[in-house]
Amino acid sequence: MIRNQWYAVLDSRELGTTPLGCVRMGERMIFWRDASGSPLCHVDRCAHRGASFTLGKVLCEGEHRLMCPFHGLEYDSTGVCTKIPANGASAPVPPGFKLRNYPAREAHGFIWIFWAEEGSSPVGEPRWFDDLPDSMIGSSVADPWANHYSRAIENQLDMAHLPFVHHNTIGRGNRTVVDGPGVMLRDGSMFVYVYNRLDDGSPRRSSEEVPVPRTDMPFKLEFIFPNVWENYISEKLRIIAAFVPVDEGNTIMYLRFCQSFMKLPLLKSFVEWMGNKANILVAHQDRRVVETQIPRGDGMGAGELLFPGDRALMEYRKMRVEAMKGLKGA
């Protein structure tokens, strides 16, 4: 997991008016909303005796405060303790009573955090897909995977597995030869163009020999570093995934079926529900294989031998290396 990046970590609908505790990036975190409804994120450990805020509550009189369920300590939106009941309401609070914060934002139906090093400030804002309007964003389904989040990302950039893992769904047709794939990098995004075909005995084309971008069909994949992905099927149909790191060996994949061809509210909800059912079916075909991969928590696929059709995976790993170099040089 790479620090100093904006990560999508929750679906917006999961964070209501009560504190939400969960493990992200291998850390116990607590999420809540301030008086304006904006999300907040702290390391979930009361400064007093380390209790979790998951059983606590948000006090909503005036400026919202987060209250520890163990001894009633109250913290403001900056993580500073404003009250220790045992000392009396008028007693000053010692300066060390504060929580570590991670900058949080709500955008495009997700809660994002800037997973910063101590003392680092957020860089920019969470990035999103230029061709996906918020009006198309549907509801998410959350799917747990027992492997490193980079494994789940690489699976979505892997063209060669389609006719084998998905032989009866999205990989029908036995297109085993991977021409290309076409790969284009731009400002922290990777665009992947698929050219899989039947094996007719002719040599495969390299990534340099296939047109980028592909002009004969709209289909493409787009990955925005570090953890969001779009499958652009058509102007009116996309699939979105956020690969959320829980810890070194576990990931939650948030999947969304996004469409604009059905606008009638009831039918729209039904179509998106059915679409997410299909998303999970396909994802579980992947998951049963990905969870067998070793090493589980490497993030770079050490010890693997790749072939030319793995070009997108290679580029993703280069992205990770560059991000880690930037971190070491900061």
> Residues, the chain, total?
330
Q: What is the 3-state secondary structure (H, E, C) of 20-32?
A: EEEEECCEEEEEE
Q: Check residue 108 and give its pLDDT.
A: 95
Residue with tokens 């787009």: 222
Of the candidate CATH numbers 3.40.980.10, 3.30.565.10, 3.90.380.10, 2.120.10.30, the domain formed by 134-328 belongs to: 3.90.380.10
CATH 3.90.380.10 segments of the chain: 134-328
Q: How many CB atoms lie within 10 A of CB 212?
A: 16
Return all residues near 196 (Cβ < 8 A) that are at least 6 apart: 159, 162, 163, 175, 176, 177, 178, 179
Residues of the chain with pLDDT > 70, as a percent, come to 98
Torsion 65-15-135-270 (CA) sign: negative
Please give the Cα distance from 159 to 220 (Å, whole number): 12
Segment among 125-129, 221-225, 263-267 with least mean pLDDT: 263-267
Q: Check residue 118 and give its pLDDT.
A: 76
Q: Is the pLDDT of residue 272 over 50?
A: yes
- pLDDT tens column, 135-145: 898 889 999 99
Segment among 116-120, 181-185, 195-199, 279-283 with least mean pLDDT: 116-120
Average pLDDT for residues 300-321, to the nearest whole number? 92
Q: Is 292 exposed, middle or buried (0-12, 13-18, 19+ CB in 10 A)?
A: exposed
Q: What is the 3-state secondary structure (H, E, C) of 11-79?
A: EHHHCCCCCEEEEECCEEEEEEECCCCCEEEEECCCCCCCCCCCCCEEECCCCCEEECCCCCCEECCCC
Torsion 324-326-329-330 (CA) sign: negative
Please give the Cα distance from 41 to 116 (Å, whole number): 12
Residues of the chain with pLDDT > 90, as a percent, come to 86
Return all residues near 178 (Cβ < 8 A) that are at least 6 apart: 159, 160, 195, 196, 204, 308, 309
- pLDDT tens column, 88-135: 989 999 999 999 999 999 999 999 999 998 767 888 899 999 999 988
Q: Is the pLDDT of residue 299 over 90?
A: no
Q: Check residue 330 and give its pLDDT.
A: 43
Average pLDDT, the chain: 94
Q: Check residue 226 and give its pLDDT.
A: 97
- At the top level of CATH, which class does the domain 6-114 belong to? mainly beta
Q: Output the six-digit token pair for 132.
A: 């996906």
- pLDDT tens column, 65-87: 999 999 999 999 999 999 999 99
Please give the Cα distance from 126 to 108 (Å, whole number): 9
Please give the Cα distance from 48 to 35 (Å, whole number): 25
CATH 2.102.10.10 segments of the chain: 6-114
Q: Residue 302: pLDDT band by 50, 70, 90 thresholds?
A: confident
Q: Check residue 123 and give its pLDDT.
A: 87
